[in-house]
Amino acid sequence: MCQLLGMNCNVPTDICFSFTGFQKRGGATDVHADGWGIAFFEGKGVRLFLDPQPSAQSPVAELVRNYPIRSLNVIAHIRKATQGIVSLENTHPFQRELWGQYWVFAHNGNLPQFQPELDGSFLPVGDTDSERIFCWLLQSLRSRFDDVPPAREALFDALHELTTPLAGMGIFNYLLSNGDSLFAHCSTELSYIVRHAPFATAHLKDEDVMVDFSEVTTPNDRVAVIATQPLTDNEPWITMPPGSLWLFHDGEVVAHRLTLPSPFKSLSGS
Amino acid sequence: MCQLLGMNCNVPTDICFSFTGFQKRGGATDVHADGWGIAFFEGKGVRLFLDPQPSAQSPVAELVRNYPIRSLNVIAHIRKATQGIVSLENTHPFQRELWGQYWVFAHNGNLPQFQPELDGSFLPVGDTDSERIFCWLLQSLRSRFDDVPPAREALFDALHELTTPLAGMGIFNYLLSNGDSLFAHCSTELSYIVRHAPFATAHLKDEDVMVDFSEVTTPNDRVAVIATQPLTDNEPWITMPPGSLWLFHDGEVVAHRLTLPSPFKSLSGS
């Protein structure tokens, strides 16, 4: 299995502190040593750093840790390969373009039984089930909304409808962003914290590093951090209930809804 | 205007030497200071490093220069903005997926009169004419070959047919790769060199750096380097004639054909 890290903010924020702890789990404090990646939205563009090496030893990860890239939406992933070989094309996050927006997706889990038909509009390059699911999600969104990107809430409704049938088929924790919002689905394990004024000091679990957020923020800043397991040991992380989809925008939770599997729902037409 | 750098090899090769000289042109020895990017194919995957900062001062460029990423196909670009603001989404190379392959494109020039209709299958995220042309090229390839990726030669024929009408409409130097081959179109300025045994010593034009390729190669290695302007001052670079499309595979020229504009050719149907 893998680990996920996401960030959604109301002002461009760097993720150096959180990434420092997360990076350690890629082969140092934990076993997720089969590659890693991180995507930063900056304006409408995306910077995607991928490395099939363990993040704990990766020179690219060192760069990311020390080079503050300020972003409203970040998605990172460290991989413990369960499907697909260790290779660049199987390294998350995956990126595609839909409606003239970049979309980024990372997945923790397995959905071996889900073999959707792909119409060719988005095709996987590697051989993970994760990339296949991402292609199917984008294909489904495009066929549902045609050429018109929907409003945030309509997108959440659509993702809820698409995710719900899969939530009972396997482990399907994911982070998805189009640069505007960040969608998080907790299938088995995902937590989050929203940091806002008055800011306090945080201490990493995976390395003895501390930061006083009051020194590096303004009173209006709001930052949501989402992770498979809490990254700090002195903050009140919220554990998402298994089977729940969350919409983060401007650093706060805008919507959340259960995705309990329904045996009466089929995948046809989605 | 901008500058292009490409590499196509028969064994995975790093581009550190060429990139060292190329990077200097991004704000140090030349004026291309409005961002830069480089894409490395590794297997079926791509690592795309983008930075809207001048490459001569970019920490990401420092990483690329010092971290040998071995690749069969590389495309790099340094930008002097002529259309579109300086921003990440306008930074070349651009990347999309078609037929389950990643495609990478970088452009030097301007085609302001070319306003193709896009059907939504590939849409630009930024506002450069370059990204628009790339989207149109991929859309045209998909509509021509449907779901079946064509053989290399058929792809070259199709690109020749698509490129020819544009060759007379503006400046249209480009590099394009799907990870298998590298296509280079010289509209006004592009040179290349093929390095093979017996390997000799090369000296950069933009920095006093030398490399003895015989020490870092095997006798079977073959490496084609393509650049807007020659990167070394002691090697026999070949100047491509304006209006010519080139196909590089396994480090050598497989095909080349003129793309002189024909006034009798319309864009319809392409």
Chain segment A7-39, per-residue pLDDT in tens: 999 999 999 989 988 888 876 777 677 889 999
With beta carbons under 8 A apart, name residues in chain B contacting A60.
Answer: 63, 67
What number is the average pLDDT over the span A246-250?
Answer: 98
At B1 the pLDDT is 67
Angle, CA A34 vertex, CA A33 and CA A39 arms, to 5°: 100
Q: How far apart are CA A117 and CA B137, in angstroms?
A: 26
Look up the CATH architecture of domain B3-258: 4-Layer Sandwich (3.60)
Q: How far apart are CA A184 and CA A205, in angstroms?
A: 22
Six token digits for residue A102: 């970049």
DSSP A60-75: HHHHHHHS---EEEEE
The pLDDT-based confidence of B270 (bands split at 50, 70, 90) is: very low
Six token digits for residue A52: 């099939």
Residue A113, CB-side half-sphere exposure with 13 Å CA sphere: 9
Six token digits for residue B38: 């480089």
**Residue spans per domain, chain A:** 3-258
Q: How far apart are the first and last CA of chain A?
A: 27
Across A208-212, A240-244, B224-228, least confident range: A208-212
Judge whether B109 and B170 are in contact, CB under 8 Å.
yes
% of chain B beyond a pLDDT of 90: 72
Q: How many CB atoms lie within 10 A of CB B188?
A: 15
B45/A124 touch (CB, cutoff 8 Å), yes or no: no
Residue indicated by tokens 């972003």: A71
At B220 the pLDDT is 95
Of A48, A60, A101, the CB nearest to B48: A48
Six token digits for residue B198: 């017996």
Q: How many CB atoms lie within 10 A of CB A257?
A: 16
At B46 the pLDDT is 98
Torsion of CA A125, A131, A132, A134, to 10 degrees: -130
What number is the average pLDDT over the span A94-111?
Answer: 97
Q: A245, A231, A143, A241: which is closest to A193 by C-alpha?
A: A231
Residue A65, CB-side half-sphere exposure with 13 Å CA sphere: 15
The pLDDT-based confidence of A67 (bands split at 50, 70, 90) is: confident
Beta-strand pair B94-98/B36-42: unpaired
At A62 the pLDDT is 87
Higher pLDDT, B35 or A163: A163
At B261 the pLDDT is 55
At A77 the pLDDT is 95
A102/B125 touch (CB, cutoff 8 Å), yes or no: yes
Task: Check pLDDT > 80 for residue B84.
Answer: no
Task: Check pLDDT > 60 for residue A269.
Answer: no
Angle, CA B61 vertex, CA B56 and CA B65 arms, to 5°: 105
Residue in chain B nearest A50 by alpha carbon:
B47
At A270 the pLDDT is 37
Question: Sign (positive/negative) of CA torsion A116, A120, A121, A127?
Answer: positive
A2 among known catalytic residues: yes
Q: How far apart are CA B15 and CA B183, in angstroms?
A: 18
What number is the average pLDDT over the span A134-150?
Answer: 96
Task: Check pLDDT > 60 for residue A89.
Answer: yes
Q: How far apart are CA B201 and CA A130, in angstroms?
A: 46
Residues 41-100, chain A: which have Cβ within 8 Å of B? 42-52, 59-60, 63, 67, 87-91, 95-97, 99-100
Q: How far apart are CA A48 and CA B93, in angstroms?
A: 13
The pLDDT-based confidence of A171 (bands split at 50, 70, 90) is: very high
At B21 the pLDDT is 86
Judge whether B55 and B36 are in contact, CB under 8 Å.
yes
What number is the average pLDDT over the span B37-55?
Answer: 93
With beta carbons under 8 A apart, name residues in chain B contacting A95.
Answer: 95
% of chain A beyond a pLDDT of 90: 72
Contacts of A151 (CB under 8 A, 6+ apart): none
A60/B67 touch (CB, cutoff 8 Å), yes or no: yes
Render pLDDT for B195-247 as a digit per residue (tens, 0 to 9). 999 999 999 998 888 999 999 889 999 999 999 999 999 999 999 999 999 99
Q: How far apart are CA B79 and CA A133, in angstroms?
A: 35
Of A51, A120, A125, the CB nearest to B102: A125
At B53 the pLDDT is 85
Which one-letter amino acid corresponds to residue A151? Answer: A
- ipTM confidence: 0.92
At A85 the pLDDT is 83
DSSP chain A: --EEEEEEEEEEE--HHHHHHHHHTBTTSSB--S-EEEEEEETTEEEEEEESS-GGG-HHHHHHHHS---EEEEEEEE---SSS-SSGGGPSPEEEEETTEEEEEEEEEE-TT------SSS--SS--HHHHHHHHHHHHHHHHHTTSPPPHHHHHHHHHHHHHHHHTTSEEEEEEE-SS-EEEEESS--EEEEEESSP-EEEBSSSS-EEEGGGS--TT-EEEEEESS-SBSSS--EEPPSSEEEEEETTEEEEEEE----TT---TT-
The pLDDT-based confidence of A268 (bands split at 50, 70, 90) is: very low
Task: Check pLDDT > 50 for residue B134.
Answer: yes
% of chain A beyond a pLDDT of 70: 94
Of B89, B99, B100, the CB nearest to A43: B89
Residue in chain A nearest B120 by alpha carbon:
A147
At B269 the pLDDT is 38
* Region of residue B230 (left: phi > 0; alpha: psi -120 to 50; beta: else): beta
What number is the average pLDDT over the span A114-136?
Answer: 96
Judge whether A156 and A183 are in contact, CB under 8 Å.
yes
A230 prior amide bond cis, ω within 30: no
Six token digits for residue B64: 């690329």
What number is the average pLDDT over the span B103-123?
Answer: 95
Q: C-alpha distances in angstroms, A145 versus A71, A135, A138, A150?
A: 27, 16, 11, 7
At A79 the pLDDT is 85
Interface mutation vs chain B, best among A44, A131, A136, most B CBs within 10 Å: A44
Judge whether A176 and A105 are in contact, CB under 8 Å.
yes
Which one-letter amino acid corresponds to residue B35? Answer: G
Residue indicated by tokens 């390395």: A207
Residues facing B175 on adjacent strands = B106, B184
With beta carbons under 8 A apart, name residues in chain B contacting A90.
Answer: 45
The pLDDT-based confidence of A57 (bands split at 50, 70, 90) is: confident
